[in-house]
Structure 1
Amino acid sequence: MAPVSTPPTKEARSIFNSLGYEVLDDGDEFRARRKWREVRVSALADSGEAPKYGTLRCFVTWTENATRLRKRIRDSNPDYEWAVIAVDESGDYEVARAPPSKAVVAQ
């Protein structure tokens, strides 16, 4: 079982490094940059709270917390694109993408 009280910070950094992102900043929240894209990454020990701001956000949490986190973010209906990465103690991970953005209809 993963150490659920400790955020998967090392695993999050490793995932983004292996995807070719430059990892910037320290701590449980960092920026991952590749080409024109910059993603704010938050490593969370539990289902956590979704920030109110952002453009591209990714939340990395332990597998056993991922479903609750995804539901909490979806229910908060943030104005940014987001994804949840569920990681296990061996470093294997699965990406759960956010639902598509709502199209703005001109009136």
Structure 2
Amino acid sequence: MATVTIPPAEEARDVFKRLGYAIEERGSEFVAERKWRRVQVTPLRAEDAKSPGEILEYGSEGGPRLRCFVTWMDCTEPLQSSLQSAKPPYDWAIIGIEPDGEFQVVHPDPGSAPI
């Protein structure tokens, strides 16, 4: 199954471009920027989303204070649980990608600001 082994990197770029962000390439990750927002975007394979480990720590020093993890829709719940447990030192959101390209944004709590 492709969604298990391939991170949704191109889908992540498409989502941020549709939302009006400029993309700054940084290998598999990228920084998306619009107005005052700089967001470090990390596409994750299903395995990494379900067991993110140190991926949650990477990039928290000196980088953007906003992070967005992009993964397949069926992997958003375990990733959200990991982030809530880790309590990282940055604001975060998750974008879940559906097989048809549609997406949904998941925040740490319902009152969070949108990406």
TM-score computed with the length of structure 1 as normaliser: 0.85
- Percent identity between the two aligned chains: 39
1:31 aligned onto 2:31: yes
Structure-to-structure mapping, 1:1-107, within 5 angstroms: 3-46=3-46, 47=49, 48=52, 49-51=55-57, 53=60, 54-99=64-109
Tell me the C-alpha RMSD between the 2 structures.
1.8
Q: Could you list the runs of 5+ residues in structure 2 that have no partner in the other structure?
A: none
Quick check: which one's helix share is greater?
Answer: 2
The alignment of Structure 1 onto Structure 2 pairs a total of residues equal to 101
Please say which structure displays the higher CA radius of gyration: 1
The runs of at least 4 aligned residues of structure 1 exceeding 4 Å deviation read none
Q: Counterpart amino acid of 2:15?
A: I
5+ long unaligned stretches in structure 1: 102-107
